[in-house]
Amino acid sequence: MNERLGQLQELLKESPQDPFLHYAVTMEYVKLDNRLDALAGFENMISNFPDYVGTYYHFGKFLEKEEQLNRALEIYQQGMEIAKSKRNMHALNELRGAYNLALGEDEEDEF
């Protein structure tokens, strides 16, 4: 285990309800190419912290890399709904762009 991951996991023990720490640990797993723990982390984020909008973009990209395009598209769509409900237009536009790119469409196309 790398040092950063260990530090994040220690912080997570102290603040287990902090969505950012869960997200940071998950992204560390992605960087380490630990696909099983990364997948578990993303699933945990979607289940326990569904309003953490940043998860959806990175989870979708992860799923695309894992050649799970249909699931990635579902995650992007789910994220777009959350972003709309939160009025987070920046996240909505990023997710819409990722969704369209995954479909092989121009980023300007509508959802």
Note whether residue 96 is domain-resident. Answer: yes
One domain for residues 44 and 67: no
- Tens digits of residue pLDDT in 76-94: 999 999 999 999 999 999 9
Which 8-state DSSP code applies to residue 109? Answer: S
pLDDT for the residue 105 = 73
Residue 26 phi/psi, 5-degree rounding, is: -60, -45
Residue 80 phi/psi, 5-degree rounding, is: -60, -40
**Opening angle at CA 82, ends 37 and 30, nearest 5:** 20
pLDDT for the residue 22 = 97
Which 8-state DSSP code applies to residue 110? Answer: -
Q: Domain tally for the chain?
A: 2
Note whether residue 111 is domain-resident. Answer: no
Strands (E), 16-80: none
pLDDT of 111 > 60? The answer is no
- Tens digits of residue pLDDT in 38-49: 999 999 999 999
